Structure 1
């Protein structure tokens, strides 16, 4: 018994020491990187106050909100347990977390940016502008009922776990029928899209398909894959997250591929492209921010650097009326198209309308014919019919449509879905787009209740 006791004691000590070493190696870089990048983007891109960011965004992980930070004119440095990480801001490009390149190297880059149209948005009618005077009321819509549903989306049932809803916009039959903002936010406020950015990537790929520059079923043009088994991965596999590449998307495991890519690598697409083949392409669904960043680099290679930084704006944002939208690149210059975009709530609603209207805006076809149908058709290996091409679906499992993500919402519902319960919900059968933006750190925001309440008011 004494030998067993000594053995167990030594084993426990080893486990504790290993845990301490693991925490000491992996957590400080991730925590400081997250804090610096989040603070930088929210300060300089979203134009928020430091205290607001500490009170909301930085509550995502214990210790972030109280972290030491040095905030300067165009940078934020965060320090924890002897580790310091720095994020820098560049006008028109947003913020970049420095990892491998120096600040001087990154600031010396001179990308060619777009110039936004010089128009007064308040004098341009919705949806291209913000003038709602011509809308008028829609017969049969129960506006009080819808307002009540929207108000509930801002109500904290548990004050100890606030949901931090920042904005809700409801568009029915092309018109804004409800809109609400939390204190400190309005129709001009840029808000983080997180993985809703993946659906923007879908649109950009679609535009290149329309222009005949890319083909969905063709092999993905990834230089690292030309001479090995990965050359069989198609553009469709990347879009549907069925590449078969090894990937760990865990958000709360600091050693996961997700954090290695975001925190430790300047060229995020190159890191994702370095992953080994685990299973055959098209045989397994694995949600992957890495795959989307590979798509972003494919866009860059296809259009060239002289057009790449203008491409999302001139081919998509300006045409749709997304005047406040911005995408942030990594230090290699490739947009972090899996996660780093900001736009106003109305801008996100405009993006939802683009897909509700089959890729057409004011009579101009932006996306190729059939692209929305392709994007919202489930991958054959998504077990619950929950994913198309960078778009989340409510289709349901094969042969069991009741087994779906949101069983109380219509089956044709699809979503642009981002971290912390950011959503653009599109329900074609109801001619409905619902945008909810916020910073919910727990699973206590009821998306279904919001959308159900709105649907009840338009029936």
Structure 2
């Protein structure tokens, strides 16, 4: 019997050692994710630590972190078993930034200048509450049932929807929020921010200030085969550059988001492993590289910061939006855009109207077609920083549907043939949330 207990003890010890060996290298990422999530949710949306831990951070391994917040100095910290403590600081105008031990918190920093218009027009073109409008061709009982079905019953954690907004012909026809959330809640869009980042190239191109079909202006590529990579290739995630986008392990993507000081440089030195315009590979590093290219279009950092808001975000009244920055002060265009559900919907409406915002053309009409045209080697899944239905991803929706997609099921669906935008924000991807069924039910309420 003694030998049996000794054997069991050895097995347990081996398991502990193996677990520690496998887990320790990930602790930087675990505590980094947790500190950043706690700080952003708390300081941008006034959520409690308890709510963030039970919702945003109830992810395998991330829930190991112990978190603390300093409301006076505006930062959050996280560690795992007292190891690998990480810190995320809040700065007005820039949101929260995950920092390392070398970061100088006392160093002065620039913030974007905002020009939030206080228009007396109703939503979406102003700040006045929209008037209720009844369309004869909509079965509202079916529509409301479809929206309600997207949410969990009390006590459940299956669908995990936080908000749904349905806009038809510029009118809100359905809007619902989960407990603890409202029209004023800022919600992280994750990779929906990628679609926002790409849009700036459409704006610059309309202004005659940038040609996406020329080789990407990256100095490090000019003396090797990578000099043939165009900005168009980058916008289509089709550069042929090496990149590992895996969030379940230590990967290029997780090292960039939770360890890098300047995320715009994360993919610059990657090898070329495929032919440009023929090797589609989804990459957050590519989007942050594009953010760096945008930075280099301006003489000063202040101009770069202001451009993101003046040319798009504030221009279309996304007043709640904050795009967070890295330690070098560059916008993390791949992942960290926060806004209310209504403000996210305005971005979808801008594309629905092919760049026209209440009479002003923000980007050329052709840009909307450009981003929604399938890129080579993507099997109709992807355009230029937007996801597509051309390949039938949602079989019960029109093929011209395209969308801005983010981690955990953030979606802005744009239906050009239906004059429709649907926003769904939540904490579940398609494995747990039936997007095709949801869209089918909403579309089924039309044609009354």
TM-score, normalisation: structure 2: 0.92
Aligned positions of 1:33-432 closer than 5 A = 33-64=32-63, 67-73=66-72, 74-81=74-81, 82-99=83-100, 101-104=102-105, 107-117=106-116, 119=118, 123-134=120-131, 136-156=133-153, 161-253=157-249, 255-304=250-299, 305-382=301-378, 384-396=379-391, 404-432=392-420
Do the aligned partners of residues 133 and 267 (structure 1) sit closer, same or farther apart at CA in structure 2, a change above 3 Å counting?
closer
Structure 1: any 5+ residue segments left out of the alignment?
1-12, 397-403
C-alpha deviation, 1:233, in angstroms: 0.8
For 2:220, what is the secondary structure of its paired residue?
helix
Unaligned runs of 5+ in 2: 1-12
What is the CA distance between 1:69 and its match in structure 2?
2.7
CA distance in 2, matches of 1:63, 1:455: 37
SS of 2:315's partner is: helix
Output the aligned Cα RMSD: 2.2
Q: Tell me by how many angstroms 1:442 deviates.
A: 7.7
**SS at 2:57's partner residue?**
helix
Q: Deviations over 1:145-186 (max 9, x none)?
A: 1111110111259x6643321111100111110111112221
435, 445, 448: which one aligns with 1:457:
445
Moved more, 226-235 or 188-197: 226-235
Cα distance in structure 2, aligned partners of 1:355 and 1:331:
31
Partners of 2:20 and 2:117 in 1: CA distance: 55
The 1:234–1:442 alpha-carbon spacing in structure 2 relative to 1, beyond 3 Å, is: closer
Moved more, 87-96 or 180-189: 180-189
Deviation digits for residues 31-57 of structure 1 (CA, Å, limit 9, x no counterpart) = 000000000110111221211111100
What's the offset of the Cα at 1:330?
Answer: 0.4
TM-score (norm 1): 0.90
Q: Which digits, 9 at most, give the CA deviation of each residue in 1:335-368, with x for residues without a partner? A: 0000000011111111100001111011110012
Tell me the distance in 1 between the aligned counterparts of 2:354 and 2:67: 48
Q: Is the contact between residue 38 and residue 67 of structure 2 (CA under 8 Å) also seen in structure 1?
A: no
